[in-house]
Chain A
Amino acid sequence: MTRASVSPKFLFSIVGMVFLIIVPEIATTGFFLHMATVILLWTILCLSLNVIFGYGGQLSLAHGGLFGVGAYVYGVLATKLGIHFWLAFPAAGIVTGIVGLLIGIPSLRLKGPYFVIVTLGFNIILVAIIRNLTSLTGGVNGLVGIPGPGIIPGPFFALDFNSKTSQYYLILFFLLVFWLVMYFIRDSRIGKCLAAIKEDEDLCQSVGINTMWVKVQTFLLSSILAGLGGVLYASYIGVLAPDDASFHVGFDALVYLTVGGIGSVVGTILGPVVMILISEFLQAFVEIRLFINGLALVILIIFMPQGLRGGVAYLWKRLFQTRGNAT
């Protein structure tokens, strides 16, 4: 092609970004905005999973638990100790990071299915702890009355995060930051190491990469991102139950990520958008909802093995680039 063309990727990102920013404006009902916020929260969890699984090839099923740890740490700090969101937010990130290290260091020594099963086991342990630490977490009764981010006092103006719209923007802001972090990782030398480890860990070691160290660092980052996502979730929803830390949460994130496209940036949001919308549209058909949901998943994965990200790229190529290739 002779004329300077804008890459479709860039075009999509801009359109998508603009759409994400104007969502509260075009949201006619509170429910619509709620759905959008929930989708963003899922996107954060998918993104954290993508760092360790999409880039590093290590399928962690502990991410539901890590998400829950972040959420509960914030919940407990905010309700029991009255600590402000902006202090509890980093604190929860640090705690989740430590938990992530405790899980990652033993389990990352294992490979393939063994790693998957051990992380699943850790998730079950985390839920058991949350369920039994009744004095702090409220046990099976859950934790209620978790405050939102509230107001940040400032010298000239205060930022008020009490409305649903402002919470949406807060979550969107963090999502963008986390996306940037994820992009930085992919783009960096550690991203190259991760891609290499995903393909052949022994070969990586034989050239001198300390694969364990690379994986532990990445798992730590991934845990922190999941935990911070949990904090945002807890501060938005306001109530927590042990099920919020269940491995089902991590499983759902895995399904969304697979549908969106493992290892891609845009896939982390495409998956949650499509799967959550399908599931919502099917609310009217209670009897067959799960069946249709499962069927949709199977069809998507069979026809788009690379996820929606791969599917869209393929269609785009078929539709618009045949001429470009011919010349």
Chain B
Amino acid sequence: MVLRGKDVLLTVRNLVKEFGGLRAINNLSFEVNKGEILGIIGPNGAGKSTLFNLLTGVLSPTRGEIIFDEKFVTGLSTHVLAQRGIARTFQTTRIFMDQTVLNNVMIGVVPKTKHSVWNAIMNRRKMKREEDGLLKRCEGVIRFIELEEKAGRFAGELGQEEQKRLAIGIAMATEPKLLLLDEPTGGINIEEINHLMGIIRKIWSNGITICLIEHKMKMVMELCERIVVLNYGTKIAEGAPQEVRLNEAAIKAYLGEEYAA
């Protein structure tokens, strides 16, 4: 395990999210250090995806605070958080199916550039001149996710795993500081999983901090430096993979009472 300094990128403090009477996230606190891969695991309904929705501003927390990059970001809207550097993928692969791979990635690049109606009509020349730079950035991302041969294809024509790579590519195009991956390997076969894991490692080695929800234990154990285990919205364990593997509460949550030593 590589230790890369202890700078904290994201702090979650006493986070609570209630849906009516149901408490989906219960007094959750943890930290994500700069440059690490943190795994978030837990049984179905543990609140993992809810946590991601809170971190990206899709939902706003009932109580508690989120500090990203040394600033309070609790309650900011999704697009602002994305501009600040939090990118994500969704549990069900979400890409723009009716558009080409290149355009998909372009949508990730556009938000940080000027894109108003006024500019579209009045500053066409200037906008066109910038286009080359944007295309170059897109091409870089497409090369990164290894889809350069399919840049002109429609996203809907791609295979499952290619679509998942594209979803990661769209997120990467925003040049994030923190990348939240929600079950990046759901529904694809072993070989493809290895390929995707390679890409996730590549993202990590580029210095981007990654937070990963995953069900496949093998993958989490191999990839993550640290793991947070959730159950019923509460953190029941946290630590390096080897520690969590032996943690009684984690085993109980996953395998049931009788397996706990």
Using CB atoms and an 8 Å cutoff, list the residues of chain A in contact with chain B: 181, 184-185, 187-193, 195-196, 199-200, 202-211, 214, 217-218, 220-221
Contacts and interface: CB of A to CB of B under 8 A. Distances in A.
Given A184-B124, A192-B103, A209 B117 contact: no
B53 to A, nearest CB: 10
Contact of A206 (B88, B110, B117, B118): B88
Contacts of A193: 107, 110, 115
Nearest to A210: B79
B111 A207 contact: yes
Contacts of A221: 117
A192 B79 CA distance: 17
Contact of A205 (B79, B112, B114): B79
**Counting chain B CB atoms within 10 Å of each CB, which of A184, A193, A202, A203 scores highest?**
A203
Contacts of A220: 117
A200 B92 CA distance: 13
A189 B87 contact: no
B91 interface: no
Interface of B: 56, 58, 77-80, 82-83, 87-88, 90, 94-99, 103, 106-108, 110-121, 124, 127, 170-171, 173-174
A173 B58 CA distance: 46
Given A181-B121, A184-B120, A206-B82, 18 more contacts: A184-B121, A187-B120, A189-B113, A190-B116, A192-B103, A192-B115, A195-B96, A195-B103, A199-B98, A204-B107, A206-B78, A206-B87, A207-B82, A208-B79, A208-B82, A208-B112, A208-B174, A221-B117
A202 to B, nearest CB: 7
A208 B121 CA distance: 22
A195 B120 contact: no
Contacts of A204: 79, 107
Nearest to A189: B115
B17 to A, nearest CB: 18
13 contacts: A187-B120, A189-B110, A190-B116, A190-B120, A191-B120, A192-B106, A192-B107, A193-B107, A205-B82, A206-B171, A207-B108, A207-B173, A217-B118
A208 B85 CA distance: 9
Given A196-B99, A199-B99, A218-B117, A188 B108 contact: no
Given A200-B96, A209-B107, A188 B115 contact: yes
The 6 nearest A-B residue pairs measured at CB? A208-B82, A188-B120, A208-B111, A189-B115, A205-B78, A217-B117
A209 B99 contact: no
A209 B110 CA distance: 8
Nearest to B89: A206
Contacts of A189: 110, 113-115, 119-120, 127
Contacts of B82: 205-208
Contacts of B124: 184, 188
Given A185-B117, A189-B113, A203 B78 contact: no
A202 B127 contact: no
A188 B108 CA distance: 15
Contacts of A207: 82, 87, 107-108, 111, 170-171, 173-174
A32 B202 CA distance: 67
Nearest to B98: A199
A209 B127 contact: no
